[in-house]
Amino acid sequence: EQTLKEKAPFPIGASIDPTHLKTNLRYKNVLIKEFNSITPENMMKMNMIQPAPNRFDYTKADELVNFAIQDKKRIHGHALIWHESLPTWVQNFQGDSLAWENLFKTHIQTVVGYYKGKLAGWDVVNEAIGNDGGTRNDNTNQGSIWRRKLGADYVARAFLYARQADPDVLLFYNDYGQESNPKKLQAIISLVQDLKRRNIPIDGLGLQMHIDINTSEAGINYAIQESVKTGLKIHISEIDIALNPSNSTLEKPTAEMLERQRQKYLMVVRAYKNLVPKAQQYGITQWNVGDADSWIRSYLKRNDFPLIFDVNYDRKPSYYGVLEGFK
């Protein structure tokens, strides 16, 4: 019977966690059979990979990389610089701007250098733009320590440092909310257009697409179209389509919800295929593998059913929506 990766006209991926890979055979089988690209959900984040100053620990990330290499899957690195998932020592770091710049550059170049030749691309900077379209230059939890300590242009330097460490890996800017927040979308587009104008090495744009069954389709089309105009490779990097955004307890999805989710997956995949020129198609990655391992359950603590495989890793109607979208 046909699988996603056999029918997909571009890479089709999932973000994964080494724990499930080891403990859940159905998870592993679906991953092997259906996907040809993986993104480490957490294991390449700074708190995991540099837990102490100049102590780099690749053990968990390498489990995923070795699994992917063995199974001939593409690997997308996530995420070198982000204001979340920072190790405590960085959050408490007391240093002058030179020391901060050195910490920043050392992290990027050590990690990119270590994975040189193994990854297709990196999310070099994740979520630098705030929901207000600003650069997260505030002291709330939405503020970025990198923005505060290094100045707004840290984004450009992150890309320069990454390129110096690996001449070939594709360098992405990754963010969320483009489909529902025109101000944020515009700020992201302006940011990457400015980087391109200055010949800062950037190859791709990640649209995370953490959406729900009510997300505007006009908004989705507009976000993809505007992103394509940058000429960068386009990665739908973390898609999931929640059924229960209002946070009410949802024991079981209704048939109507599952049908609406199927239509939304179909719409997004078809829009990507039709609106993104072949040369700019980096692919579509879903965030997590099945409903049971979705971050929405573990991180947001909300009982939702956002993916295309159910809690038993069986195919949902949405799975067939994705397949249909490939045509």
Contact residues toward ligand G3I (CB under 6 A) are 41-42, 45, 84-85, 126, 176, 208, 238, 295, 298-299
Active site residue 101: no
Nearest to 320 by CA among 266, 284, 241: 266
Determine the Cα–Cα distance for residues 210 and 300; give it in Å rounded to an integer. Answer: 13
Cα–Cα distances in angstroms (integers) from residue 36 to residues 66, 99, 255, 313, in the given order? 14, 40, 30, 17
Please say which residue, 79 or 323, places its beta carbon nearer to ligand G3I: 79
Smallest distance from the beta carbon of 321 to ligand G3I, in angstroms?
22
Nearest to 87 by CA among 115, 123, 45, 128: 45
Please say which residue, 159 or 176, places its beta carbon nearer to ligand G3I: 176
Measured from each CB, the residue nearest to ligand G3I is 295
CA dihedral (301, 307, 313, 317) positive or negative:
positive
Measured torsion, CA atoms of residues 13, 19, 25, 30, in degrees rounded to the nearest 10: -10
Smallest distance from the beta carbon of 238 to ligand G3I, in angstroms?
5
Tokens of 192: 């990457």
Determine the Cα–Cα distance for residues 149 and 144; give it in Å rounded to an integer. Answer: 9
Please say which residue, 6 or 57, places its beta carbon nearer to ligand G3I: 57
Smallest distance from the beta carbon of 71 to ligand G3I, in angstroms?
22
Please say which residue, 47 or 106, places its beta carbon nearer to ligand G3I: 47
Please say which residue, 21 or 263, places its beta carbon nearer to ligand G3I: 21
Please say which residue, 179 or 323, places its beta carbon nearer to ligand G3I: 179
Catalytic-labelled residue, pool 127, 217, 238, 259? 238
Strand partners, 235: 206, 283
Smallest distance from the beta carbon of 30 to ligand G3I, in angstroms?
18
Tokens of 77: 């690195």
Smallest distance from the beta carbon of 208 to ligand G3I, in angstroms?
5
DSSP H helices, the chain, are: 4-7, 18-23, 25-34, 46-49, 59-70, 88-91, 97-114, 145-150, 154-165, 182-197, 217-228, 255-275, 295-298, 317-326
Determine the Cα–Cα distance for residues 177 and 19; give it in Å rounded to an integer. Answer: 29
The catalytic site residues sit at: 238
